[in-house]
Amino acid sequence: MRDRLIIALDVPDLSYSFLHDQIHPLIKAGFLNYKIGPQVILDPGFSSAMVALKKRNLHLFLDFKLPDTPDTVRETVKRAGEWGIKILTVDPSVVYAATQVNTFDMKIISVVWLTSQPHPWSDTQVFRSIGSAKVDNADGVVLPAVRSAMVPTTLSWDDLLSRLNIPYRQPIEL
């Protein structure tokens, strides 16, 4: 169970004392997966905390839900890979840009919308977003539980794509 649990580091302070007092006991207990939210990168201790966590070979997950220009997304993916990040969440509109440059052992996850917010998308739009994530080579999709119930578990990706008439994208050489 400990290898499947992700500890959120969405805290106001990534100081040495926090890492030593709060995180070190979790690492010693075998918890290896840690989520980092976007607010933490502005913490003065972020860089030193990342170095300390990386030295322990932990699995780091950047939960940025990154919506930006394709060039910025590609550069962010490269830098995240250099830090050894294992999972990066991105906006559905930039999955393709993120997967184009992901030569690291990193999973790119498309966040269809924030799970805590109501969303006006129709079922068809949700299916198209899931299909596009597959076409763009995302490693997964985050759906709120209330919408995930509508996704048929017996439908293959190919069946879903053919029903939605979404063509496969051809890879672009870099």
- Please write the tens of the pLDDT for every residue from 150-173: 555 555 656 655 555 544 444 433
Mean pLDDT of the chain: 77
Considering only CA atoms, which of 117, 120, 121, 107 is closest in space to residue 144?
A: 117
CB-count burial class (<10 Å; 0-12, 13-18, 19+) for 92:
buried
Q: Which domains does the chain have, with CATH numbers?
A: 6-164 (3.20.20.70)
Question: For 40-69, how does the pLDDT look when each residue is reduced to its tens digit (9 = 90+)?
Answer: 887 888 888 888 888 888 888 888 888 889
Question: For 95-120, how does the pLDDT look when each residue is reduced to its tens digit (9 = 90+)?
Answer: 999 999 999 989 998 887 655 555 56
Phi, psi of 143 (to 5 degrees): -125, 145
SS3 content of the chain, % helix, strand, coil (to 5): 45, 15, 40
Distance (Å, whole) CA 142 – CA 11: 22
Which region holds residue 165: left if phi is over 0, alpha if psi is between -120 and 50, else beta? left
Give the model's pLDDT for residue 170: 43
- Could you identify the residue written with the tokens 């007092």? 21
Residue 27 has pLDDT above 90, yes or no: no
